């Protein structure tokens, strides 16, 4: 029952924030404006990951899978942390072990790779998928419309009790992003999933800050119901 409710919530938010997405696939590949102006925002990383996987599955196009290479930094820790365990970790700010990508999908940078073009938080759209490089088009900012190459890079997380290194593309899907990651982006249409409590940290003030509003349609969902719909606003997130 819980799974059905979660699926229903994701479907509702997808339809309200990214209407008729599967049927727009061809247009999105040619024109990125529609894609860069909308997103689903959630408070927790796990909700963002689930939304992205759900939305990606609705798009029927060829999928390329990239697996990371995960190793411990200290050789004597191999016995304690085998590669299978490292592969199973899904940490905030890190790419997944199994990264599934399709041409045209939105992605977000997780590291500063080539500043100022490729910075942590930059949104892009996948243009071409190669073995060791992803070609993408920048969606926002002063370099909007430029094509860039994203390589696999070694990354070491800082919030684990042991040190390990992952070799992977520093990106994740970005149909949905966290409220914190949304800071600095302007959205014409967004859906807010408040299934997780984000009021105690003041996160709700980020997407609906009154002094940054001018023309948008925003739907706020708590649990299963859409409680508020704000029309003719535009939210600039700082």
**Residue 12 structure tokens:** 């509702």
Lowest mean pLDDT among 65-74, 99-108, 178-187, 211-220: 211-220
pLDDT of residue 221: 46
Strands 217-222 and 225-230: antiparallel
- In tens, the pLDDT along 140-177 reads 889 999 999 999 999 999 888 889 999 999 999 998 88
Is the pLDDT at 236 greater than 50, yes or no? no
Read off the pTM. 0.79
> How much of the chain exceeds pLDDT 90, in percent?
37
CA distance 216 to 83: 46
Q: What are phi and psi of 27, to 5 degrees?
A: -65, -35
Of the candidates 88, 96, 111, 1, the one whose C-alpha atom is nearest the C-alpha of residue 50 is 96
> How much of the chain exceeds pLDDT 70, in percent?
71
**Residue 237 structure tokens:** 């997130």
DSSP line for 111-168: S-SBTTTB-TT-EEEEEEE-SSEEEEEE-SSTTTT-EEEEE-EEE--SSSSS-EEEEE
- In tens, the pLDDT along 10-33 reads 777 777 677 666 556 665 666 677
Q: Which residue has the tokens 């060829």?
A: 62
CA distance 3 to 69: 32
Q: Is-contact 182 228, C-beta < 8 A?
A: no
Domain segments of the chain: what residues?
1-227
- Cα–Cα–Cα angle for 50, 146, 30, rounded to 5 degrees: 65
Overall average pLDDT of the 121-125 stretch = 92
When pLDDT is cut at 50, 70 and 90, the band that residue 64 belongs to is very high
């Amino acid at each position: 029952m819980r799974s059905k409710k979660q699926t229903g919530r994701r479907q509702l938010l997808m339809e309200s924030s990214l209407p008729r997405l599967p049927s727009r696939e061809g247009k999105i590949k040619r024109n990125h404006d529609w894609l860069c102006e909308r997103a689903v925002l959630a408070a927790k990383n796990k909700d963002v990951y689930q939304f992205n996987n759900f939305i990606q599955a609705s798009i029927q196009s060829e999928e390329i899978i990239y697996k990371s290479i995960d190793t411990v930094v200290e050789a004597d820790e191999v016995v304690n942390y085998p590669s299978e365990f490292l592969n199973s970790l899904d940490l905030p700010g890190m790419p997944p072990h199994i990264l599934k990508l399709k041409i045209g999908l939105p992605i977000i940078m997780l590291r500063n790779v080539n500043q100022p073009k490729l910075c942590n938080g930059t949104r892009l759209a996948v243009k071409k998928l190669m073995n060791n490089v992803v070609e993408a088009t920048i969606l926002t900012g002063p370099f909007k419309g430029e094509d860039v190459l994203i390589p696999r890079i070694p990354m070491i997380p800082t919030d684990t009790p042991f040190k390990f290194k992952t070799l992977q593309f520093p990106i994740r899907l970005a149909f949905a992003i966290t409220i914190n990651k949304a800071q600095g982006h302007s959205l014409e249409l967004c859906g807010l999933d408040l299934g997780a409590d984000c009021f105690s940290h003041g996160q709700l003030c980020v997407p609906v800050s009154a002094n940054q509003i001018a023309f948008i349609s925003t739907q706020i969902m708590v649990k299963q119901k859409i409680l508020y719909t704000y029309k003719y606003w535009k939210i600039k997130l700082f």
